[in-house]
Structure 1
Amino acid sequence: MVTAFNPEQQLAFDIRRSIILGAYIREWSMPAYRVLLNHPDRAIHVEIYYFPAADEDDIARFATVGLSNTLRSNGQSIGTEWMLALTAELGDESAERIFAYMCDLLVHHIEVAPDSRIPRVMGESELAPNNWSTRAFLLDELRGESEELETIQVGDESIQMIWAVPITTQEASLILQEGVEAFDSYVEESEYSIIDPCRE
């Protein structure tokens, strides 16, 4: 339970979790576990769930619940949830390390990003997992997932699912200079998978 929530807020969050997590489970099966990003003084409560790959050829996913109703430092509601897709072996990193990285990125996004417009590029960071070559980050429209996940309805609120993808410094420069369409073309022609965080 989040101590900063009053009973009505807690119920609203529980309902939000049920709807959003239910949508994830319908698409990806049961999560293995979750971590909580909690800042009661700021009324921040975000849950991050790990959906492991079923086998070595499947996709692993990390997805948020609660980011959508979190307020930015400017008081604006974020209105989106994040989904990070990775290869089954997670780029030779532990799930715990990826949880920590996502928490760092989420806090930065909540505190610094002025709005939820996409695409949004975060530059290269020393906080990225050591084994990854993708040390920058892109937030953009959801790709490669069911259309049912693109927008999740919670009461009167339409929540957009955002694709959170680690990218290389060169890919970040390409997006900033030529746009996300140029990045999409580059990905289509590349021999590496976009969900491989160790790609060259």
Structure 2
Amino acid sequence: MTGLIEHLEHFLGRIQGGGPAGKTPEGNVVSLAVYEPVSEGGSVHYSTIGLSKLVRFSIAEGGETSTELLMTSSRPEASSVMGSILVQVTGESLESGEPLSAGDVIGPRGRMFDGSEMEAIFVRAPEHLPEAFSPLRVGDQDIQFLWLVPITGPEAQYINEHGVGAFESIVKQQRPAFEDVHRQSVI
């Protein structure tokens, strides 16, 4: 059985830093971790650690599941902003008491990165990582990982108007590099 941190470091790289990412109304803290790239020039990953211990929610099949959040950037210049976005989204989720789910769209809220068209966040499964990454079972707890993907305003609007399935069909055809905050919109 692998613990959460060991699991994250196995797939994302060694933790190189972090800090607080949010606080529950009861005062419990969720941490932010920043990982060293697995290979030179590789993507930098960011994740929450501890969200899964604080927030559990019911699933359709019965029982409960927990979530940790993840962001990924292939652009070193996006590093500080990525961490800030993850902290903001985590804090908002904790304050509202509503867990994020795959298919959620947050924003648009204006441009997030210099020279980038990204204005919103799309929540999806971390399909850029091996299948063994998610879910993770630790003791009696199932932990799902959700990938927070920066998207353009038109992409957010398309999801809101046509649904997640229609957007995912386009994604499947075009295979955008979601790790690149300077990528072109698929819409």
Bucket of the pairwise TM-score, normalised by the shorter protein: 0.7 to 0.9
Distance 1:68-1:127 versus aligned 2 partners, 3 A rule: farther
Q: What is the CA distance between 1:96 and its match in structure 2? A: 3.0
CA offset digits 1:90-130 (Å, max 9, x no partner): 4x33x333222211111112223634433111111248344
Q: 1:131 to 1:20 in 2, by over 3 A?
A: farther
1:187 to 165, 171, 177: 171
What is the rounded CA distance, in whole Å, between the counterparts of 1:65 and 1:30 in structure 2? 14
After TM superposition, the score normalised by the length of structure 1 is: 0.75
Contact 1:138 1:165 (8 Å CA) reproduced: yes
> Structure 2: which amino acid aligns with 1:55?
E
Higher normalized strand content (fraction of residues): 2
1:128, 1:135 → 2: CA distance?
Answer: 6
Specify which structure has the higher proportion of helix: 1
With over 3 angstroms needed to count, the CA separation of the structure-2 counterparts of 1:109 and 1:129, relative to structure 1, is farther
Distance (whole Å) between structure 2 residues aligned to residue 164 and residue 151 of structure 1:
16
The aligned counterpart of 2:3 is 19
Identity of aligned residues (%): 19
Contact 1:187 1:194 in 2 (8 A): no
Q: Which amino acid aligns with 1:187?
A: V
Note the 1:22-61 alignment, pairs <5 A. 22-37=6-21, 39=23, 42-53=26-37, 54-56=39-41, 58-61=42-45
SS of the equivalent of 1:135 reads strand
Aligned positions, number: 175
Structure 1 position 107 matched with structure 2 position 91:
yes
Displacement of 1:55 in angstroms is 2.3
2:66 paired residue among 50, 75, 79: 79
**Structure 2 segments unaligned to the other structure (5+ residues):** 57-63
1:125 correspondence with 2:109: yes
Change in 2 beyond 3 A, CA 1:27/1:192: closer
Alignment RMSD (CA, Å): 2.6
Q: What does residue 59 of structure 2 align with?
A: none
Partners of 2:100 and 2:82 in 1: how far apart? 22
Q: CA deviation at 1:71?
A: 4.2
Q: CA contact under 8 A between 2:125 and 2:147: conserved in structure 1?
A: yes
C-alpha distance in structure 2 between counterparts of 1:71 and 1:44, whole Å: 11
- Partners of 2:145 and 2:24 in 1: CA distance: 24
What CA distance in whole angstroms lies between the structure 2 residues aligned with 1:127 and 1:44? 31
- Segments of structure 1 that go 5 or more residues without pairing to the other structure are 1-17
Highest RCO, 1 vs 2 (Cα 8 Å, sep ≥ 6): 2
